[in-house]
Structure 1
Amino acid sequence: MAIDLGYWTPVYGGFLRNVRDEGRMAATWEYIREVSVKADRLGFHTTLVPELYLNDRKGTDAPSLEAWSLSAAILAATDRLRVMTAVRPGFHLPAVLAKTVSTLDSIAPGRVALNVVAAWWAEEARQFGGVFPAHDARYAQATEFVEVLNGLWESTPFTYRGDHYDFDGTIVEPKPSSHPVIFAGGESDAGREAIAGFADAYVMHGGTLDEVRANVADMNARSERLHGRPIAEFGMPAYVIVRDTEAEAQRELDRITTVDPHSPGYASFEQFRQNSNLSLELSRREYSVGTRGLRPNLVGTAEQVAERIDEYADAGISLLLIQASPLDEELDRIAEQVFPLVGQRSLAAAG
């Protein structure tokens, strides 16, 4: 099977919690613009723009960029790149968000996607006035949130009565040129059931091949039961280290995973662990880059990494969201050395 290769936009100025200096990576539009234009030119398929109002990688007092204004700029600066922007229902009015997405689609038709996130960071919600109900209730809210988005994109006027939202004759014009793909992720049973109901696509944390196969089978079964069809796309983040030799790659892995419990981002990691129903215990080693990005073990020579990516494609992953540091340099390396060795869906379709 083939796979689309994308990347994770570093709104926090870097991916590494244990490494303070990541070269030129910074939480600035100048750096993100450079990475976005380069990724578009190199042929990366999708970028995920995470929505975090506090910096969970470098510490809460460090700068980070706002997802939706940043996404508009990325879409305007690129020609082909799909931009998947995270949205937490507890921080947004769904009708306003529907209007925002429609406007972004007019800037870049067909290149807007969403990642609906049932938030995990209580401290962030407290500081920014976000709604932060109990875990399962956040997925019930997310379900209604997406129902409202879909309704506003499909009908004019739109009326809705729910537990979280009420609308009466609401008009959103223009409509998007095509239905934006809606991703979501979650590991609890309640989360998976909700996502299978409201999302088109599923994005999971990094996992082993067996974990991915199990996730794909479970989510496809739920979607088949609810809708009579499988999940449209399966995304997974992974931290990638490509070097000329396996030993060099291992040295880089050792450098970035030397955990400092006193690092600025460690407290947010503890909140994430406490407020999420995760399917496995997070190790401090995995904490080093977040989203369990090291668990897929995409570390080694270009040949080794490409072989591993193909194995994940065979396991059901259709979109790999690459994390690497420094990202501008590593995207060049990955495009030059790994792209020719991996069967890519977008390139195959173009041929």
Structure 2
Amino acid sequence: MSKETGPREPLKFAYWVPNVSGGLVVSKIEQRTDWGYEYNKRLARTAERNGFEYALSQVRYMASYGAAYQHESTSFSLALMLATERLKVIAAVHPGLWQPGVLAKFLATADHLSGGRAAVNVVSGWFKDEFTRLGEPWLEHGERYRRAEEFITYLKEIWTSEHAELHGDFYRLHDFDLKPKPLSGPDRPHPEIFQGGNSTAAQEMAGRVSDWYFANGNTPEGIATQVGNVSGVAAGHGRTVRFGVNGFMVARDSEAEARDVLREIIDRADREAVEGFGSAVTQAGKSAPDGTGMWQDSTFEDLVQYNDGFRTGLVGTPEQVAEQAIRHKRAGADLLLLGFLHFQEEVEYFGERVLPLIREMEAAEPGATSTPVAGEVA
């Protein structure tokens, strides 16, 4: 079963917050991107002026595969929300390293401070050392997703119920009333809950409990398959889910220039770091009972961008990139989560050269709507 057809909202855009050192590619190529707060504050303001509605703060607790330094995701997300006016910032978190009630309280406060712009990405986790070196147990694949599903169920229960009750295998609630609740409205009963993962377990979990499903980079055909799988599960539970797709964008004035940049990124890959990352994550992907986990078929070149962003095909001239973005929208994507080599400059290039073409192409689609998109430059 696929998503319902009919008029679609304009494609939304998010960017990866570079709150982790090393940029968005594991390469020794020059990256004019900085992981510090001042750079990120300026970037957030640039992004909301150039058509980005969301930003995703990464979560890392220790050095790994080229990322030597990391700022914590929830506090960094709140700081970026307070530095902007419209940007919704999604904080990635790991169940197992957070007590969900504590996170629910933090996000409720952040939601009030930001005027309703807090969101969360619940990540089941792939980096075993982050758990074991902190003295926390490491669960196998299926158990991590069962815990993540309970974690999301807990968040929703505590945010929406005055007498929250939950009796799960991992978490429990006993007649608990969180005050204040997060801000709510007709289209947003609580902060939006995002979730990633490519495995069957991840897709089924998204269909049951998540608001958004983030997919690793893929072709439009691959995305369409995932959209169909998740939407089918969601429909069986009387729900709908929206879909985000990871992509690394290399838009340049000529296709040759864009291809040369991509080739240099890969040619100058930090081979030791990429191979170490690949060894860790492909084992995580294959640990799913049916071998369908994330990265289970990723090549060395794919892993240079650590969420398979090259696979999404957003490389070329502004026209070529816009056409590929539309292909992903037709496949069911509601949002593209973008990474860049030089964030500040390329976010501006996207807003000036790529986004207007995407909006023109959307307007020409059958049954197109003219819904304005907040934050875009007129």
Shift of 1:175: 0.3
Work out the CA distance in 2 between the residues paired with 1:131 and 1:20.
37
Match of 1:217 in 2: 228
Shift of 1:270: 1.9
Shift of 1:132: 2.2
Is 1:348 the counterpart of 2:371 in the alignment? yes
Match of 1:338 in 2: 354
Instruction: Please give the residue correspondences for 1:32-71 in structure 2 after superposition, counting only pairs within 5 Å.
Output: 32-56=40-64, 58-59=66-67, 62-71=68-77
Question: Contact 2:208/2:234 (CA < 8 Å) preserved in 1?
Answer: yes
Shift of 1:168: 2.0
Match of 2:212 in 1: 201
Tell me which amino acid in the other structure corresponds to 2:357. L
Shift of 1:41: 2.2
Aligned-partner SS, 1:89: coil
Question: Contact 1:160/1:168 (CA < 8 Å) preserved in 2?
Answer: yes
Work out the CA distance in 1 between the residues paired with 2:43 and 2:134.
29
Q: How many residues align?
A: 346
Match of 1:327 in 2: 343
Work out the CA distance in 1 between the residues paired with 2:163 and 2:298.
46
Match of 2:244 among 235, 239, 245: 235
Work out the CA distance in 2 between the residues paired with 1:272 and 1:78.
34
Question: Contact 1:47/1:83 (CA < 8 Å) preserved in 2?
Answer: yes
Is 1:186 the counterpart of 2:197 in the alignment? yes
Is 1:305 the counterpart of 2:314 in the alignment? no
Instruction: Please give the residue correspondences for 1:49-198 in structure 2 after superposition, counting only pairs within 5 Å.
Output: 49-56=57-64, 58-59=66-67, 62-178=68-184, 179-198=190-209
Is 1:17 the counterpart of 2:26 in the alignment? yes
Question: Contact 2:282/2:296 (CA < 8 Å) preserved in 1?
Answer: no
Question: Contact 2:274/2:304 (CA < 8 Å) preserved in 1?
Answer: no
Work out the CA distance in 1 between the residues paired with 2:249 and 2:27.
16
Output one character per residue of 1:71-105: Cα deviation in whole Å (capped at 9) or x when no partner. Answer: 01011001111111111111100000000110010
Shift of 1:289: 1.2
Name the TM-score, length of structure 2 as normaliser: 0.87
Return 5+ residue gaps in structure 1 as ranges. none
Aligned-partner SS, 1:174: coil
Aligned-CA RMSD value: 2.0
Tell me which amino acid in the other structure corresponds to 2:39. Y
Work out the CA distance in 1 between the residues paired with 2:370 and 2:164.
39
Instruction: Please give the residue correspondences for 1:280-295 in structure 2 after superposition, counting only pairs within 5 Å.
Output: 280-295=296-311
Tell me which amino acid in the other structure corresponds to 1:184. Q
Is 1:252 the counterpart of 2:248 in the alignment? no
Work out the CA distance in 2 between the residues paired with 1:264 and 1:80.
36
